[in-house]
Amino acid sequence: MKNFNLDREKTLFLFVDLQDKLLKAISNKEEVLKNAKILSHMAQIMDIDRMVTAQYPKGLGYTNAEIIEPIGETKEIEKKSFSCMLDENFRAELEAKKKSQIVMCGIEAHICVLLTARDLIKAGYEVFIASDAMGSRSEFNYKNALSQFKDMGCVVSNVESIMFDLNSIAGTDEFKKVQKLIM
């Protein structure tokens, strides 16, 4: 039976290509940016491992500063491949982290996020999609990507569901800090 529960000891947040030059063209960029920032802050508060990629930063620039700032010392992995898994440095860092559940956000949903999700599943990872923290240039491509994620076996979720799944007991100091991100 498929596991639909996130286990924070096994979880890694993957921020894919959230670069300003790319964000400008995304149809739902405000929502993507808002929710990716929530995930970024959540990772910091909850001490969840994270990785960040930048697609061809020489031409497209680096990850949005508001997303990267809370992530802290995590370095961006520069890549040219559309699937992160085709990048040797990415694969080496991912394997070193020894996590089995990957929560993905980023752009574009139907290209780099989709191809990476496919290859992560092929490699044996459980993939969770933060659907409200990703986007594409066209709404059709975004919706088509969501359908493909489901068909591939990803758990298609949203930032709040991910937040409450990973922090499922109310009243703790950590919960209160995380809850403030959405209030």
How much is the pLDDT for 2? 67
Domains of the chain and any CATH numbers: 11-177 (3.40.50.850)
Here the tokens at position 92 are: 């080496």
How much is the pLDDT for 146? 97
Residues 6+ apart with CB under 8 A from 106: 14, 15, 16, 17, 18, 36, 53, 112, 113, 133, 134
The H or E element containing residue 76 is: strand 76-79
Among candidate residues 153, 79, 71, the one with its CA nearest the CA of residue 111: 79
- What are the average pLDDT values for consecutive 10-residue runs of the chain, which has 183 residues? 83 95 92 95 92 91 82 82 97 97 97 97 98 96 97 96 88 85 85
Distance of alpha carbon 78 from alpha carbon 57, whole angstroms: 7
The pTM score is 0.94
Distance of alpha carbon 35 from alpha carbon 9, whole angstroms: 22
How much is the pLDDT for 1? 42
